């Protein structure tokens, strides 16, 4: 997913506030800010999401990368929220604070995933509600994310929420420079051979 991240340093260094939840009943789901000790499970869920999307070998990050980039650097590169049921993480969203030259503060959702046996139980909606509530507290004016064209259930769900498909409403394509192209452009080697 494409990233357009920057934010005020003091805001990015703060983790999102913990959600205020009533005491958990056995079947209830709590959405809260992710902690360092959640990173091994989030790492596993990242790989489950990649397999669901048909690219099981796609993720190349380690648990330590998540810990370093989310918790150990002065300006974290991401934050995450998790959905927990009965002490088990059953979903997560991995997000970045972003900035729009049109609307100011924004959030970008890199991943939103719920384990298969917990889908259609309102967990994805709880995660999005948590992110929207946090966004209102932080004066965020938009939330962006990408969805695979082939993920019809997700597209239908987001459509019901009122999310706009930017391919239609703004005719925007999502673009990305991968690491080898970043190195090429940084070194003034602009000519590109198509990927094999």
| Cα gap 43→52, rounded to integer Å | 14
- Residue 188, judged by CB atoms within 10 A of its CB (0-12, 13-18, 19+), counts as exposed
Contact residues for 42 (Cβ-Cβ < 8 A; gap 6+): 34, 66, 80, 82, 89, 92, 94
> What is the signed CA dihedral for 183, 185, 188, 192, rounded to 10 degrees?
100
* Whether residue 99 lies in the annotated active site: no
Extract the tokens encoding 124.
């994805």
> Among 92, 108, 113, 158, which one carries the catalytic annotation?
158
Beta carbons of 131 and 107 less than 8 angstroms apart: yes
Beta carbons of 163 and 191 less than 8 angstroms apart: no
Contact residues for 148 (Cβ-Cβ < 8 A; gap 6+): 53, 154
Positions marked catalytic: 158
């Amino acid at each position: 997913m494409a990233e357009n991240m920057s934010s005020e340093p003091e805001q990015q260094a703060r983790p999102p506030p913990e959600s205020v939840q009533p005491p958990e009943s056995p079947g209830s789901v709590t959405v809260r800010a992710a902690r360092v000790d959640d990173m091994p499970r989030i790492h596993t869920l990242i790989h489950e999401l990649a397999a669901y999307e048909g690219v099981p070998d796609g993720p190349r990050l380690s648990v330590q990368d998540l810990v370093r980039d989310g918790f150990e650097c002065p300006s974290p590169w991401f934050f995450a929220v998790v959905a927990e049921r009965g002490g088990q993480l059953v979903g997560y969203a991995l997000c970045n604070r972003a900035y729009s030259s049109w609307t100011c503060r924004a959030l970008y959702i890199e991943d939103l995933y719920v384990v298969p046996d917990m889908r259609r139980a309102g967990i994805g909606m709880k995660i999005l509600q948590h992110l929207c509530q946090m966004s209102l507290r932080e004066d965020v004016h938009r939330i962006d994310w990408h969805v695979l064209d082939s993920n019809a259930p997700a597209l239908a769900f987001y459509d019901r929420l009122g999310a706009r498909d930017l391919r239609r409403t703004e005719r925007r394509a999502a673009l990305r420079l991968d690491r080898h192209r970043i190195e090429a452009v940084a070194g003034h080697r602009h000519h590109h051979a198509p990927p094999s």
